[in-house]
Structure 1
Amino acid sequence: MASEREIQIASILGDLQIPFKMEQTYSGLSNTEGALLPVDFSIIVNNRLAFIEYNGPHHYTSGKSVKEKSAHRRFVANGSKRLNWSQKQGIPLLIIHYKDKDRLLDIVKQYVRDVRNLDIKTTQQYSKRTKGYFNMNSPSISLDSIVDSFSYEIPGHKDRKSDTFSTYEKVISEGAQDFEYLKLEPTKTGYALLPMTEINAMFSEMNRLNAEIESYKQQYEELFTDFKGQLQLNEELHSKIAEIQEQLYLQNKSLASPKDVLTVNISGNRVIELPGLPDSIRIGRKYSAPFKSYIKNMYDQYELEVKEIKMILEELGQHVSLPTIKKFVDPVKTN
């Protein structure tokens, strides 16, 4: 499959009315494995055969993997074979460096002019990286055997003249279905050709993506509606929980409500006022929750020591051991 730059070069040659053939092979030009080695562009200028090669980054740099390094060596070896063979046959060869992709039109035009000049017998420099190799010996290849297959073709579309490509204006006025390529206005890099099949495929993909976006939008709207309902339900649950907590608080408060207020003298002439004991001290053999809370409250709110709590309880007629009091005031440590 031709690259974007190769299609661009084909467009330039078509506009210059230079017959060309892509991926042409020749007897005697073979790669390192012995298979015939194709040439990117074989062109006919003034009944003279000439070559054009467009070298991408893989011709100059190698990856780190073994496979990439092997491929790079193969590209370099094939490039050398192609250059040596063309020189022996007296066939000019233009090797375009990929970094000159923005100067394709100027380079190709100048190369065609140089091929027409039969006096050139040396290497021509078209940029710092792009060179044309000339050795105008009498060509040993008969053009009669290959010239009939040359045309102003674009890869995959034989016998298509350059003036039959669609322009942007034609696409707008006549529709895209009648053309195979969209040909943009020329710049210093030549014409840009965009296959209409790819453009139509792009619009089809855009339509598919838009439909998918609408589908996602509908799903999100449904999810958002569900989410709003879930939020409302959560608010109702929180309200109910708050109501139950309030009821429990009032219930515990009533269970622990004192009959009266006790004034207690603590060591060091410290006087505090404590609520009276709760109504419920024991439930069976176990101390009640209100009584445990009463002891915990003495420890937390009044900052009484365990021994002080024991003393106060004894004054109130409740004999509770120190370990039990410690368990009530700090159950984590006791466990």
Structure 2
Amino acid sequence: MTNQTIANAERELYLTLFDLAQTQPKAHEWLAQLPKWLNDIKDKSRYAHAPAYQAAVGHLPVLTVDNVDLNSPAITIEAQLNDSERKQITALLKQLMPWRKGPFQIGAQIESQIGDEQSAIKIDTEWRSDWKWERVAPHLSPLRNRRVLDVGGGSGYHGWRMAGAGADTVIIVDPSCLFYHQFMAIRHFVGAADNYNTHYIPVPLEALPEHSQLFDTVFSMGVLYHRQSPFEHLQQLKGQLVKGGELVLETLVIEGDANTVLVPHNRYAQMNNVYFLPSVDALVSWLKKVGFSEVRCVDVDVTTTDEQRKTEWMTYQSLADFLNPDDNSQTIEGYPAPKRATIIAKK
């Protein structure tokens, strides 16, 4: 069975890259690799759950959508739901758990004649990703009419917010089969409300053609500390930017001077794929070393258990389980608790 939502999204992605290739020769390299990128994510020998995820998206009912709000804290699809639709959609979306980045809302608050409320479906994700967006957004160059790349975009929450801010084209890249299908589930309800300006390619940054120089703004939020070679990651980000383009880099940091970098011995906050946590000054020097200019730190924020926590839509362990129960200023391993900095730089 053809999944119409995914087929439509893939066609619009192809058309976007095709149009881009008329003026940007490097986009031809993206077009050449696109069929493999899109076929691989559906390969059940690679991703055992792919058929189930695709079926969940494919069975979502078609709603009459009154409005789509990409600028509210929760990406909101306003539509009238009957009880059967609400239960069906909730069950299907829960087949795509855990939901980590959001929140999202589908439906509308309706007060009935007998005084009770029919609540919208509220996907309360592990992360209050809107908080991060509120910290970052005031410092950005205006996104209106810009081409934007969101690296490691998860379910696509921030990508939708970028589209809401007026970006001409948003391309989210993330290799997760689950996150790809979460994006497609939201795409199903958003439909053409964003003029199909928001796209998702299910690959990591390193799979993209190098030195494409296609994007006016590139975001990398929550990715750098997972890279074994941070300098290579920074060079790859730089290669996707046009000359004069803007990098928005958000990552874990620690206190210290320009020579301070934490390399966790084993796990950090129970994550086994954390390699380098620099100080802000060290991170700034890294960016300058790979050739960025106008490098500035615009925000430093300690992650709290209000921002990252277990919910009905993400029932596994979360930040509270990763901190020292006797001292929340430390991780369970004894390292400094998660603190995140946002750096903005120009190519």
TM-score for both structures, normalised by structure 2: 0.20
Greater relative contact order (Cα < 8 A, sep 6+):
2
Q: Which has the higher strand share?
A: 2
* Structure number, greater radius of gyration: 1
Q: Which has the higher helix share?
A: 1
